[in-house]
């Protein structure tokens, strides 16, 4: 299977600090790839490079097998890459439909085409089997954390995206809401999307992911199938960069 | 009373679409914010898929959610009818109320945009004065009335653009940038006019006709006012510009991540406010037949007060044109009542101050009951 998104040999520095060293990362359609790593391992930087927020210093970026240049968030969005940020990036004072179409509103002539937007939003939420939201004209401020996460994810898949990156989607959620969001994450992958899940929570990672990519101090320690590793091995990869045959040897990939 | 309504708003039951029954004469302003949300969600709940047409469209028009403000207006009108039955309900009095409201009203439309977008514009009165002076210099007047109008509008928009540029690209706090513009524009207006009142010359009376020509009993400038309000309403509620104004005011970071050029948008908001000041300058030239550096003194405060009474949050992200205009009409009506009854203007100022405080207190209660 060819990865929909593939990075090879990515380097990224901020001034004198090199944050990513020769990182390779592949994401496959129909799979959930968990991106794990300790604080400061470079997860967020890697995601921002993918999303075009940070330009990469060197290395190559392939999308659906073809080399591409991604210099801005718009480039990434044009390819079909959507990022759901940790702080959700929703406007509390707008309703669900308005948020989902923010910045990309549909117009009929000069005025907003509310009917089309409402229909598309309703369809997207339906296709994700979201039933917890009472009305899509509800203000986002009236939603629970899980519902907000759902809206943010729905916003990301609305645009026929191929890769959806979720930055710690369950970090602020309770048990039931976490289960709901993970279920939704699984459903996205089952629909053929490539999903990247950034998470600190091993239970979430093992519950939902197909592959695990572990970053250690800015290097990709290992990218493995979830079914082939144990909980303890992943923790070891995160904390020391290696585990048995897996991972880095003297700081470089084996 | 707010607490009693609070839980209702949370339930989002369709019944909330029609704001709570009347019977709280003092609760007027409090209701706007809550009724606004309730109206929208109720409409959505009724027809989750096609909510934007039909009942929702009506609810968003704002008649329902501004019931409190309308009640306050009715109450004031009733006071007028009782205390001055012979003067209040006359055609000439109504015309004078509307003419008075027209100038500040146009400015209030621009101010509503700026405040919803999370900013503030203190320079509106000064910009209007500068535009009126610039448009009535002998040099400008020699080109005829239409160039004068164009001049006023361009000067207003230009000054607004300077505000917007300083705020969004110069990263200045809106309060400071527009305060500087207030002082500087007023000064420039004094320099240009030599502190003299500039009369509109013979041959340029077309401008004055805006206030003297009447259609269906109302002077033309009232129609200009209505046109600006209608245009403002459409832009705010029916276009991407308006939608993004709410987004920029509500959560600029989210707006940025959604691909909105927040800086450019902010600059355009101040330019829009400046444009409104330019139009207001034409109206005040029509009403007073002059351009003067003293025009529009303290208009910024009246405009901001009207916007706040109308339910727009100073922190941005929420508000409406119709609310602002109702707030302005309430203010204008109070002025009118005080004049008709021969009361002290100082008392009038005290009354206005109290109204602002009451409006904000009621707003806050309605906000707290929602969260």
**Who among B50, B249, B257 is closest to A89 (CB)?**
B257
Residue/partner pairs of A225-233 with CB below 8 Å, 24 or more apart: A226/A34, A231/A202, A231/A206
Give the full edge-to-edge strand order of the sheet including A5-14: A17-27, A5-14, A58-63, A66-67
Domain ranges for chain B: 84-340
Tell me how far apart the alpha carbons of residues A35 and B355 are, in angstroms, rounded to a whole number: 56
What is the pLDDT at residue A254? Answer: 54
Question: What distance in Å separates residue B353's CA from the closest CA in chain A?
Answer: 28
Spell out a b/e string for B268-279, using b for 16 or more CB atoms within 10 Å of the CB, else e.
Answer: bbbbbbbbbbbb
Q: Which residues of A touch B240 (CB under 8 A)?
A: 105, 107, 112
Among A125-129, B19-23, B67-71, B196-200, the range scoring the smallest mean pLDDT is B19-23
| pLDDT (0 to 100) of residue B36 | 39
Reported in sequence order, the residue ranges of chain A that DSSP labels E, i.e. its strands, are: 5-14, 17-27, 32-37, 58-63, 66-67, 81-84, 107-108, 111-112, 163-167, 194-198, 211-216, 219-225, 242-243, 246-249, 252-253
Q: What pLDDT does B88 receive?
A: 86
Task: Say which of A88, A93, A137 has its CB closest to residue B41.
Answer: A137
Q: What is the pLDDT of residue B2?
A: 37
d(CA B215, CA B220): 7
Cα A205 to the center of its chain, rounded Å: 13
| Residue of B52, B244, B318 to mutate, interface with A, max A Cβ within 10 Å | B52
End-to-end CA distance of chain B: 16
pLDDT per position as a tens digit, B328-368: 999 899 888 888 888 888 888 888 888 888 887 877 766 66
Task: Give percent of chain A above pLDDT 90.
Answer: 28
Structure tokens at B54: 């039909």
The residues of chain A scoring below 50 in pLDDT are none
Q: Is the Cβ of A102 closer than 8 Å to some Cβ of chain B?
A: yes
Contact status, residue B97 vs residue B103, Cβ threshold 8 Å? no
| Model confidence at B105: pLDDT above 90 | yes
Can you give the pTM of this predicted structure? 0.81
Q: Which pair of tokens denotes residue B6?
A: 């609070």
Of B56, B249, B258, the CB nearest to A102: B258
**Residue of A241, A207, A247 lying closest to A227 (CA atoms):** A207
B12 to chain A: which residues are within 8 Å by CB? 134-135, 138, 142
Ranges of beta strands (E only) in chain B are 198-199, 214-215, 218-219, 290-291
Whether A108 and chain B come into contact, CB under 8 Å, resolves to: no
- β-strand A194-198 against A32-37: which pairing, if any? parallel
Is B143 a residue whose pLDDT tops 90? yes
As a whole number of angstroms, the distance between CA A84 and CA A211 comes to 19
| Model pLDDT, residue B366 | 65
The sign of the dihedral angle between the CA atoms of A24, A29, A31, A36 is positive
- Residue given tokens 């002059």 in the structure block: B290
Q: Helix or strand or coil: residue B38?
A: helix
Which residues of chain A are within 8 Å of residue B257 when distances are taken between CB atoms?
73, 85, 89
Between B280 and B57, where is the model more confident? B280
Quickly count: other Cβ atoms within 10 Å of residue A176's Cβ. Answer: 10
Task: Tell me whether 0.90 is exceeded by the ipTM.
Answer: no
- Best-predicted range by mean pLDDT among A35-39, B265-269, B308-312? B265-269
Residue B316: name the closest of B224, B246, B260, B253 by CA.
B246
How many residues are recorded in chain A? 254
Cβ–Cβ below 8 Å for A102 and B244: yes
Find the largest Cα–Cα distance for chain B: 64
- Residue A109 touches partner B, C-beta closer than 8 Å: no
Q: What is the greatest pairwise CA distance in chain A? A: 63
Q: What DSSP designation does B200 have?
A: P
CB atoms within 10 A of CB A93: 23
Domains and CATH numbers, chain A: 5-80+161-253 (3.40.50.300), 95-160 (no CATH)
Among candidates A74, A112, A138 on the partner chain, residue whose Cβ is nearest the Cβ of B41: A138
B4 has a pLDDT exceeding 80 = no
Residue range A53-107, pLDDT digits in tens: 888 899 999 999 899 998 887 788 889 998 888 776 788 889 999 999 988 888 8
Residues on B contacting A at a C-beta cutoff of 8 Å: 10, 12, 37, 40-41, 43-45, 48-53, 56, 234, 238-240, 243-244, 246-247, 249-251, 253-255, 257-260, 317-318, 371
Contacts of A110 in chain B (CB under 8 A): 239
Q: Burial letters for B234-267: b for 16+ Cβ neighbours within 10 Å, e otherwise?
A: ebbbbbbbbbbbbbbbbbbebbbbbebebbebbb
pLDDT of residue B367: 62
Name the pairing type of β-strands A32-37 and A17-27.
Answer: unpaired
Determine whether the interchain pair B41/A139 forms a contact, defined as Cβ–Cβ distance below 8 Å.
yes
Query: Hey, of A93, A97, A141, which one would you mutate to test binding to chain B, going by the most B CBs within 10 A of its CB?
Result: A93
Candidates 1.10.286, 1.10.3470, 3.30.160, 1.25.40; correct CATH number of B84-340?
A: 1.10.3470
Amino acid B10: pLDDT: 39
Distance (Å, whole) CA B327 – CA B332? 9
Written as six digits, the tokens of A210 are 């197909």
Mean pLDDT check: name the lowest of A222-226, A239-243, B18-22, B266-270.
B18-22
The per-residue b/e assignment along B117-152, b for 16 or more CB within 10 angstroms, e otherwise, is: bbbbbbbbbbbbbbbbbbbbeeebbeeebeebbebb
- Say which range, B5-14, B130-139, B140-149, has the weakest mean pLDDT: B5-14
Residue B115: pLDDT band by 50, 70, 90 thresholds?
A: very high
CA gap B141, B199 in Å, rounded = 10
C-alpha neighbours within 13 Å on the C-beta side of residue B49: 7
A107 touches chain B (CB under 8 A): yes
For position B42, what pLDDT does the model report? 37
Which DSSP letter does residue B113 get? H
The yes-or-no verdict on residue B23 having pLDDT over 80 is no
């Amino acid at each position: 299977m060819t990865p929909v998104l593939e990075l090879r040999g990515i380097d990224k520095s901020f001034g004198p600090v090199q944050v990513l060293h020769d990182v390779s990362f592949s994401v496959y359609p129909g799979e959930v790839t968990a991106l794990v790593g300790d604080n400061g391992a470079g997860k967020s930087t890697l995601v921002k490079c993918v999303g075009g927020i940070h330009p990469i210093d060197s290395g190559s970026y392939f999308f659906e097998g073809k080399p591409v240049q991604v210099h801005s968030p718009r480039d990434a969005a044009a390819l079909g890459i959507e990022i759901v940020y940790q702080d959700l990036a929703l406007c509390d004072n707008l309703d669900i439909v308005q948020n989902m179409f923010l910045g990309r509103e549909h117009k009929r002539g000069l005025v907003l085409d509310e009917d089309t937007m409402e229909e598309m939003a309703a369809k997207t939420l339906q296709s994700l089997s979201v039933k917890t939201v009472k009305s899509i004209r509800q203000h986002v401020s009236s939603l629970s954390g899980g519902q907000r996460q759902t809206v943010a994810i729905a916003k990301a898949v609305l645009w026929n995206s191929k890769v959806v990156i979720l930055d710690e989607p369950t970090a602020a959620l309770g048990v039931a809401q976490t289960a709901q969001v993970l279920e939704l994450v699984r459903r996205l992958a089952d629909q053929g999307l490539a999903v990247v899940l950034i998470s600190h929570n091993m239970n979430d990672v093992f519950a939902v992911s197909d592959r695990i990519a572990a970053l250690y101090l800015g290097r990709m320690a290992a990218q493995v199938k979830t079914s082939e590793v144990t909980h303890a091995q992943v923790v070891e990869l995160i904390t020391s960069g290696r585990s048995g045959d897996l991972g880095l040897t003297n700081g470089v990939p084996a | 009373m707010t607490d009693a309504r609070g839980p209702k708003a949370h339930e989002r039951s369709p019944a909330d679409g029609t704001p709570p029954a009347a019977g709280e004469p003092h609760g007027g302003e409090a209701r706007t914010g809550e009724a606004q949300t309730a109206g929208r969600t109720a409409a959505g709940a009724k027809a989750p898929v096609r909510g934007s047409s039909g009942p929702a469209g009506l609810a968003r028009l704002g008649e329902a959610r501004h019931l409190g403000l309308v009640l306050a207006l009715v109450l004031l009108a009733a006071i007028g009818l009782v205390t001055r039955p012979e003067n209040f309900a006359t055609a000439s009095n109504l015309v004078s109320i509307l003419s008075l409201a027209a100038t500040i009203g146009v400015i209030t439309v621009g101010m509503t945009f700026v405040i919803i977008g999370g900013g503030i514009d203190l320079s509106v009165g000064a910009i209007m004065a500068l535009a009126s002076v610039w448009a009535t210099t002998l040099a400008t007047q020699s080109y005829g009335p239409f160039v004068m109008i164009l001049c006023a509008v361009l000067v207003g928009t230009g000054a607004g653009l300077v505000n917007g540029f300083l705020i969004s690209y110069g990263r200045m706090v809106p309060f400071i940038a527009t305060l500087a513009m207030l002082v500087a524009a007023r000064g420039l207006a004094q320099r240009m006019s030599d502190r003299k009142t500039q009369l509109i010359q013979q041959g340029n009376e077309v401008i004055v006709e805006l206030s003297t020509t009447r259609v269906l009993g109302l002077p033309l400038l009232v129609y200009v006012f209505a046109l600006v309000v209608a245009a403002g309403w459409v832009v705010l509620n029916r276009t991407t510009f308006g939608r993004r104004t709410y987004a920029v005011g509500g959560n600029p970071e989210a707006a940025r991540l959604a691909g909105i050029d927040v800086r450019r948008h902010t600059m355009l908001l101040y330019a829009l406010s400046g444009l409104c000041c330019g139009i207001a300058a034409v109206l005040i030239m029509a009403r007073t037949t002059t351009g003067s550096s003293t025009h529009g003194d303290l208009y910024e405060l009246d405009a901001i007060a009207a916007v706040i009474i109308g339910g727009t949050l100073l922190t941005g992200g929420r508000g409406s044109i119709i609310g602002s205009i109702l707030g302005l009409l309430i203010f204008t009506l109070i002025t009118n009542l005080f004049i008709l009854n021969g009361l002290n203007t100082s008392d009038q100022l005290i009354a206005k101050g109290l109204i602002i405080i009451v409006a904000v207190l009621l707003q806050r209660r309605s906000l707290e009951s929602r969260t």
